[in-house]
Every structure is written in structure tokens, then in C-alpha cells.
Structure 1
Amino acid sequence: MRIDKYLWCIRYYKTRNMATEACKKNHVTVNDNIVKPSKDILPGDKITFRKDQITYIIKVLAIPDNRVGAKLVDLYRIDQTPPEAFAHLEMLKLSKEHYRKTGVGRPTKKDRRDLDEFEFETDNDWDNEIE
């Protein structure tokens, strides 16, 4: 099976095109060799790829016939990604909150929508009291 199709089948990429693009951008290696999207993989291969600022390391156990459900993914791969990678991602998320605290600076689109919704609710309450 092709590497791009495999990564799509085991649900690491939402579309096969996204998996193909990752291969073309040299984000995917098989057994420490950069590969093209058409590279065939076999059980026992070690796949390393970078996605969402995490370097995933997986070992191929079997080749699925088609895209599998989320509960069945573990039948086809072993995830060897170190837990520190996920902790690093969590730290990045927390650091983004540090730069712009809620309520400081120009409102975001979500803030504006929340304000509009709040104003609409208070206007309706005021109208009910007058009647």
C-alpha cells in the first residue's frame, strides 16, 4: 500500500490529498529515508512524520484494506511517539494564552459575537419589563 494511502487509512490525515502533500513537503520518512507519496510500505516499517508541531513515530503492524474506524486503528500500527511531544504541544497552547489575555485589546470575532448575543438578550429583557 502507498504511504499516503496508509496514513489516510489509519486516520492521521483527514484527506488523502493532505497525506500526499505532507509527503511532497518531506514531512514523512520511512525507515529514516525521505519518501515520495507512492512509496510502498510493508509490515514492520517505521514511519516518522511531522504534523501539528508533533513528530509522530509509528510502526506498521498490518496493512488495512480500506479506511478503518477510530477504534480499529491500533490493529494496524503501534504508536511510539514520546509523551514529551504531546506535553510540548500542551505547553505551546498555554503560552498562546499568555500573549493575549481575555478581555485585553481589540475584541476577536468570537468576543464580538458573544457581546452581540449578550446585548440582544438584555434588550429583550428590558422590553419585557416595560410591557
Structure 2
Amino acid sequence: MVAEEGTTRIDIWIWSVRLVKTRTMAGDACRGGHVRLNGERVKPARPVRAGDEVRLRLDGHERVVVVTKVIAKRVGAAIAAECYVDNSPPPPERQPLMAARDRGAGRPTKRDRRALERLRNL
């Protein structure tokens, strides 16, 4: 299949606009069903055009972007931000894991230390 002019592969595009760190991660996300193009799951070789809506789910967060410019090479962050419109919902607020210790409270007890280690291992 020969791609039309003004199109590029979806895995290359999401990598080149810096939605994922590596091209391998982009291909794995497509194969794993984490990328939707205009509402349907896509394989890595699906062409993307200007005006398409891309939904990418990674690490529990969903990114919803509309393609404004198709590029095939990885570019700087400032230029990459011009290639899409971000319609993603805001991330949920993070809850603090535990209350901070009061200043001057002294060393943590053995019980406190074990509680901290349990939190770090989660």
C-alpha cells in the first residue's frame, strides 16, 4: 500500500509529535489497542491525515488530539506542539500518600519507618 501525499503512518506521527518517547512504544501502543483513530482501533501502519482525531491511552491517562499538520520526522517540542490541538481531559488531582511529618518531630519510630517503606514499595 502506497501512502497518499500528506499522510504518514500513525506510529511515526505519534512518535514525531512527542506523544510517546520511542517509536517502539508507539508501535506497541497501536498493536495493544491503545491508539484509536477517529474512534476505531488501528494498526501501526494506518495513515493519518490532517483533521483526524487520535486518542492515545498510556499510563492510565488518555490523550485526545486533533491532527493539524502531518510530519514524519521527530522535531523539537515547540514545533511538535503546533502539529496538533490537545483536547485531552485534565488529569485527576493527585492525593498525597501520607501526611508530612511535623518539622522538629524527631526521628521516625520503627513503626513510622516501616510504614514509609511499605509506601515506597507500592
Q: TM-score range by the shorter chain?
A: 0.7 to 0.9
- Aligned counterpart, 1:28: 35
> Structure 1 runs of 4+ off > 4 angstroms?
none
* 3-state SS, counterpart of residue 98 of structure 1: coil
TM-score when scaled to structure 2? 0.73
- Aligned counterpart, 1:120: none
- Aligned counterpart, 1:104: 113
Q: Write out aligned runs for 1:57-76 (5 A).
A: 57-76=64-83
Which has the higher Rg, Structure 1 or Structure 2?
1
Q: Distance in 2 between matches of 1:29 and 1:40?
A: 12
- Larger strand fraction of residues: 2
Q: Distance in 1 between matches of 2:45 and 2:21?
A: 18
Q: Distance in 1 between matches of 2:77 and 2:115?
A: 40
Q: Distance in 2 between matches of 1:107 and 1:57?
A: 36
Q: Write out aligned runs for 1:1-131 (5 A).
A: 1-83=8-90, 86=91, 88=92, 90-91=93-94, 94-95=95-96, 97-98=97-98, 103-105=112-114
TM-score when scaled to structure 1? 0.69
Over aligned residues, Cα RMSD in angstroms? Answer: 2.3
* 3-state SS, counterpart of residue 48 of structure 2: coil
- Aligned counterpart, 1:127: none
Q: Aligned pair count?
A: 101
> Percent sequence identity over matched residues?
31
* Structure 1 residues not aligned, in runs of 5+: 112-131
* 3-state SS, counterpart of residue 19 of structure 1: helix
**Alpha-carbon deviation of 1:98?**
3.3
**Alpha-carbon deviation of 1:106?**
6.7
* 3-state SS, counterpart of residue 6 of structure 1: helix
Q: Distance in 2 between matches of 1:104 and 1:78?
A: 46
Per-residue Cα deviation, 1:24-66 (whole angstroms, up to 9, x for no partner): 1100000001000110000000000101211110000011141
